[in-house]
Structure formats: C-alpha cells, structure tokens
Amino acid sequence: MNVFRQDFPILKDPDYIYFDNAATAQKPACVMEAISKFYETENANPLRGLYKWSVMATESYEAAREKVANFLGARKASEIVFTRNATESLNLIAYSYGRANVNEGDEIVVAVSEHHSNILPWQMVAKEKNAKLVWLECDENGYYSDEELNNKITSKTRIVAIAQVSNVLGVPKPIKKIADIAHSVGAVIVVDGAQSAPHMAVNVQAMDADFFVFSGHKLMGPMGIGVLYGKHELLNDMPPFLTGGEMIEYVTRENATYAEIPHKFEAGTVNAADAVGLAAAIDYIKSVGFEYITETEKNLTALLMEEMRAIPHVTVYGSPKAKDHCGIVTFNIDGCHPHDVSSILDADHICIRAGHHCAQPLLQYMNVNATCRASMYFYNTEDEVHRFAKSLAKVREELGYGS
C-alpha cells in the first residue's frame, strides 16, 4: 500500500481509481486544513489593513509568495505574481508583454503540442499586431528536433511559447536548450509548466525561462490559484494587465501611477486563502520529494504501458519510453469512441479523461479526433494499474465487438 494515500481524504474509498491527475490532482488534508485555518484565525483583507488580522493575512500571503519563489528557484519573491491559474498567467503575459513587444512582421513561435491556453493568447496578439504565428512541429512521439528548433526560431522571433511537458503526450522538453536558442535571437521564452511543476523539480534560473507559469490545483493546491514567474526586469517594464484596487501607488482624476511588482499585476482583493493552500501543497510535495514522485510515476507508467501493450486493439501514443510520459498515457481502442470508453470505465469506477484535451492542433497533427488519457500521480498504485488494465481489456466486448 502506498504510504501517502492516507493523506488524501477522497482516496479513502478504495473502489474508485482516479487516473485524471493531468486535469487536476487530489488534495491532501493538510492543504484543506491550511485554508480552513486561514479563514478561521486570520481572515481579513490583506495588504491594506492596519490591524492585527489584516497584518497576519498579509504576512501569510507574502510568505506563500516567498515559498513559491523558493520552489521555482526564482531570484526574488517579487518575480512571483499570483493569478487564478496557468491560463490566466499566459493571458497576462500575452496581453501585457505580448501586445507591448510584438509588432507587424514579427513572429511568435508556438509548439504544436501546446494546450489551447498557450495558443489562443498568441493567436490574439498575432491577429492584433499583424504578426505571424510559426508552428514548431514535433515528430510522431512528441519530440522536437534541433533542426526544427533552429529553423523556426529566427531573428524575426519575439516570443517562443512552449510547455515543459505536453498534457497529451507527456514528453518533457529540453527547455534550457530552447531558451538558449530563443535568447540568441533576442526572443523571450514563455514556459507553460502546468504539467511539469507537479512532477519534477523546476528551477527557472537553471532553465533560463523568461516566464514560467503553473496552476496550483494540479499540484494538489486548491482550485483558483495560479502562478506567473517573470524575470524582474521584464515584469518591471510591462504595463499592467488588470487595473483597479491594490495595484496603485497614487491616483488622480485622470491618471494613476502603479504599485511596484508584483502588486502591479494583482488588481483587486487577492486570493490569500488559496495562496496559503498552495504554500501548504508545496510543503507537502517537498515532504514527498520529487525523487520519489518521479520514480513512482515512471514505474507505474512502465507497468501500465506493458499491460496495455498486451491488450489487442489498443494504441498507445507518445514515446515508447515510460520516463518520457510524466505519468500520462494517451491511447485509443480500435472502433471505440473515447467517450464510450470513458463511460464504460466509469461504470467500473475508473476516472479517465476523453476528448481533445484542449490540444486540437496536436490531435489534428496526430490525425485523431479524440483520445483517451489515463494520467497517474505518485499516490496511485500498481493494484490500480492492474484493475484498470483488466477493465480496459473488456471495453471492446462491452461495446459489442467479439473479444
């Protein structure tokens, strides 16, 4: 039995197999307790109050920022902006940095394996500025060749947008190498870390990311808190995204001067309680340790892929190497629509994702309309993998095909 499972109230029902961790992770009790404790003992509007509770709320919120900065290896806490999720972080970069720095004729390089949230903001900037979107094409297993990187990232490139780990194929990218190419032509790199930050140790300085984003909820934190890391000098020069309360220095009838970063980008009352929840999730993930997480996921993935290979009519996408999946196994069963597969597995109390995974350009490239995706985390078990494979082997029969 996995020793960490008992930390998760929802996993106490042994009947359910949760294999949709790439969509959102389950929450350990300590995260929920941290949020309750905030509301029960120090709730007040942070950053403004001159009384004890508000000061405590401010301190907890800023301590959460410090924790995130440390977790990502940022130089200073002011390089961390809290948002709602990775999608909002990416939109902030596009609306603020993108619109201020991309001009007519410039190019924005986007990887074909991106989630829609790292595509649509750049489509918006490209259309508005008459700039060009240039696609990085991967091979059939999701890897990007050096040749492709060097051909597409050119002196016209202003921004390179790429996920550290794809949410469909799970393949990790050599971000440092891509960042070096981007920097050599004067571009910045925007790294979507939604699928990497929960699974591997991240160091934004080592990878030399200009921007790095992730969602708290995929890292066992609460829903509704996300992170944007940006290099100090970049954030400092960027115009605000949302305006209003909490982000100003001085306001007259016609004008305003803005607060220092990161507050410049945090208009309105901040989500302090969920920042505190995220800080608790980071403490928890550190106590588990990335070594354990990576190793467990790799072993579970290898076992799952091996069992799936033994089931006729099942196609697994992505790399043949289990370690290049980050717990994500995307697949199809001949003749079975992923929604039917997912419904049949649901009847056996197995939770997987089915559909286009918000990555339609990649699915079009893979020439499939939809796929099934099983995604595991360190709290999943070998027993769950066996039960999943057993159910999966019966899906075709349940859908009316002779076995």
Partner 1 sequence: MDLKEMYREIVNEHNLHPTHKHALDNPTLELRGVNPSCGDDITLQLMVENDMITDGAYVGQGCAISQASADMMLDLVIGKSKDEALKVADIFMRMIKNEASEEEIESLDEAAALQNISHMPARVKCAQLGWRTMDEIIKGTEN
What is the set of active-site residues?
Answer: 358
Residue 33 CA to residue 19 CA, distance in Å, equals 25
Query: Any contact of residue 23 with partner 1 (CB under 8 A)?
Result: no
How many chain residues interact with partner 1 (CB under 8 A)?
17
Looking at the Cβ atoms of 47 and 366, the one nearer to partner 1 is 366
Looking at the Cβ atoms of 21 and 371, the one nearer to partner 1 is 371
Q: How many CA atoms lie within 13 A of 318 on its CB side?
A: 29
Say if residue 262 is preceded by a cis peptide, omega within 30 of 0. Answer: yes
What's the distance, CA 376 to chain centroid? Answer: 15
Query: Any contact of residue 344 with partner 1 (CB under 8 A)?
Result: yes
Total Cβ atoms within 10 A of residue 134: 17
User: Which of 343, 349, 351, 365 lies at the binding interface for partner 1 (CB under 8 A)?
Assistant: 343
User: Which of 30, 99, 340, 361 lies at the binding interface for partner 1 (CB under 8 A)?
Assistant: 340
Looking at the Cβ atoms of 55 and 399, the one nearer to partner 1 is 399
Query: Any contact of residue 402 with partner 1 (CB under 8 A)?
Result: no
User: Which of 137, 346, 382, 383 lies at the binding interface for partner 1 (CB under 8 A)?
Assistant: 346
Site for partner 1 in 232-261 (CB under 8 A): none
Angle in degrees, CA 168, 173, 174, rounded to 5: 175
Looking at the Cβ atoms of 174 and 355, the one nearer to partner 1 is 355
Q: How far is the CB of 127 from partner 1 (least distance, A)?
A: 21
Query: Any contact of residue 349 with partner 1 (CB under 8 A)?
Result: no
Interacting span for partner 1 (CB under 8 A) from 42-50, 181-189, 218-226, 331-339? 331-339
Query: Any contact of residue 387 with partner 1 (CB under 8 A)?
Result: no
Query: Any contact of residue 355 with partner 1 (CB under 8 A)?
Result: yes
Query: Any contact of residue 390 with partner 1 (CB under 8 A)?
Result: no
User: Which of 6, 130, 257, 369 lies at the binding interface for partner 1 (CB under 8 A)?
Assistant: 369
Which CA distances in Å does 332 have to 51, 94, 336, 355? Answer: 58, 34, 8, 11
Q: How far is the CB of 139 from partner 1 (least distance, A)?
A: 24
User: Which of 77, 143, 370, 387 lies at the binding interface for partner 1 (CB under 8 A)?
Assistant: 370
Looking at the Cβ atoms of 115 and 325, the one nearer to partner 1 is 115
Query: Any contact of residue 398 with partner 1 (CB under 8 A)?
Result: yes
Which positions from 149 to 188 touch partner 1 by CB under 8 A, shown as an x/- string? Answer: ----------------------------------------
Query: Any contact of residue 339 with partner 1 (CB under 8 A)?
Result: yes
Binding site for partner 1 (CB under 8 A): 336-340, 343-344, 346-347, 355-356, 369-370, 398-401
